[in-house]
Amino acid sequence: MSLAAHADRRVAVRGGKVVAGGLSMLIPQWFGGRPVPAASLGCGCVAPEDRGEHIAGRLTDERLRPMRERGAVLATLWTASASYVRRMGWEVPTQAHSWTVPTDALRRRFDGSDFEIQHGETEQLPPLRVSLAARWNGAWQRPAWWPDWQQRRHPGLAA
């Protein structure tokens, strides 16, 4: 299964050539202790030779339209660069950080303990995730297909 199977895919075409594109998904986010219908826009890109022509803004508007039609009341945009989205009126609400650690490297951190490392989802993880997310504004309510997709993309992943 690919992520595209769950996403709305949009591209901009000029002269028979794809010059921009992106994925959008309806993934609720937690606010005030409950999930709120939200659009998650990611993987947006514009060909270097076509930048500066406001294609990204027009494509973002086009990507939001079907998400609103499906009930999204807010949107989150994943981007590697915040400068162009600020020009479109979007804002970065907080700094984001991400770390990746090989699961087996955690064993060295817990030497002599009774911790057991399990790869992938466990039965205890989904209820814990919901409990924590309900206390934090902005967390995603992961779809049922998410854990399997993540495990295939990142073998050895632990949560």
Assess if residue 64 is contained within a domain.
yes
Kindly report the backbone phi and psi dihedral angles of residue 40, in degrees, each rounded to the nearest multiple of 5, phi listed first: -110, 115
pLDDT in the model for residue 14: 92
Q: Where are the alpha helices (DSSP H) in the chain?
A: 55-69, 83-87, 105-109, 125-133, 146-153
- Per-residue confidence (pLDDT) for residue 3, from 0 to 100: 74
> Between 9 and 1, whose confidence is greater?
9
Predicted local distance difference test score (pLDDT) of residue 63: 93
Residue 73 sits in a domain whose CATH number is: 3.40.630.30
> Could you give the count of Cα atoms lying within 13 Å of 49 in the half-sphere of its Cβ?
4
pLDDT of residue 66: 94
User: What is the model's pLDDT at position 62?
Assistant: 93
- The pLDDT of 143-154, averaged and rounded, is 81
Cα separations (Å) of 25 from 9, 12, 66, 113, 124? 9, 18, 10, 41, 26
pLDDT on residue 102 = 77
Position 74, amino acid: L
Residue 27 lies in a domain: yes
Tell me, yes or no, whether 139 lies in a domain. Answer: yes
The predicted-structure confidence for 18-53, as pLDDT tens digits, reads as follows 999 988 999 999 999 999 999 999 878 889 999 888
Residue 148 structural domain: 3-93+100-153
120 inside domain: yes
144 pLDDT exceeds 90?
no
Q: Examine residue 143 and state whether it is found in any structural domain, yes or no.
A: yes
- Confirm whether 85 is domain-assigned: yes
Cα–Cα distance between 54 and 61 in angstroms, integer? 11
Q: Which residue has the tokens 């970065």?
A: 92
Q: Is 159 inside a domain boundary?
A: no
Count: domains in the chain: 1
Residue type, 4: A
Residue 78 has what pLDDT? Answer: 74
In a domain, 133, yes or no: yes
Categorize the per-residue pLDDT at 83 as very low, low, confident or very high, splitting at 50, 70 and 90.
low
- Per residue in 90-103, pLDDT (tens digit) is 766 666 666 777 77
Output the pLDDT for position 138.
85
